[in-house]
Amino acid sequence: MQVGYHSLLSWLPLLCPGCTQPSRHGLLCPVCRSYLSSINEPCPLCGEPDCNGEICGNCQKRPPLWQSARLPWHFSGLTRFLIHDFKYNHNLAAGRALAAEWLADFSPAVKPEAIVAVPMHHRRKHYKGFNQAEWLAGRMSKHLQIPRWNGLVRQQQTVTLEGLTKKERQKALTNAFAVREAPPQHIALVDDVYTSGATATEVSRTLKKAGCQKIDIWALARTPLQ
């Protein structure tokens, strides 16, 4: 008798994507969960740590184009490992575990009208076969019961941003995005990692120019300021 694929899977142990030990639902085990480095009392606009939950000096001097940011972890240690495994190896178990932790006990004070992922250029997406931001946005949309909006496109294929300075990123991203239709008034913008804020700034500029009034930035982790 042939055993069905899903029946076979039901007999296999679910593993923690951090340490590969058996774990309920295949999410992070308690030990690995403790190794996610949370950002302490962050700036509510950029996630800068140790700000007593108040707006940091940089955001006071140069207010960003968005109104809030949820960036719970430092991009280091196990968090970095899991994001890289998810992003570059397409390990969806790592993505599911991170999304579940990100969403745990989270309820936005004011629900956005829609969620949108930072888009890839169509050539890069075809080459890579996977946009981790879109995948995360789908999980968040389903859990929070907020619809997706797909009117944002990447109209220019930019160089790889990894390793670039903030100024180099800003230059590379100029006019990189466009909208195909009028955006909702309140949008949550989803990405995997917040680095310099250059991507969030350029997307927010594009959305606000098209009529969006309020933007929330949602990402898994934040890198240190360069």
Domain ranges, ordered by start, for the chain: 12-222
Mean pLDDT calculated for residue range 7-33:
82
Question: Do residues 6 and 66 touch, judged by C-beta distance below 8 A?
Answer: no
Question: Do residues 196 and 204 touch, judged by C-beta distance below 8 A?
Answer: no
Query: Looking at residue 160, what is its pLDDT?
Result: 65
Q: Is the pLDDT of residue 220 over 70?
A: yes
Query: Looking at residue 161, what is its pLDDT?
Result: 60
Candidate from 80-89, 106-115, 148-157, 205-214 with smallest mean pLDDT: 148-157
Side-chain half-sphere exposure of 167, counting CA atoms within 13 A: 0
* pLDDT band per the 50, 70, 90 thresholds, residue 9: very low
Q: Is the pLDDT of residue 60 over 90?
A: yes
Residues 6 or more apart whose Cβ sits within 8 Å of residue 88? none
| Residue 192 or residue 24, greater confidence | 192
Q: What is the pTM of this model?
A: 0.88
CATH level 3 topology of 12-222: Rossmann fold (3.40.50)
Dist. CA 180–CA 183, nearest whole Å: 9
Closest CA to 43 of 65, 62, 71: 71
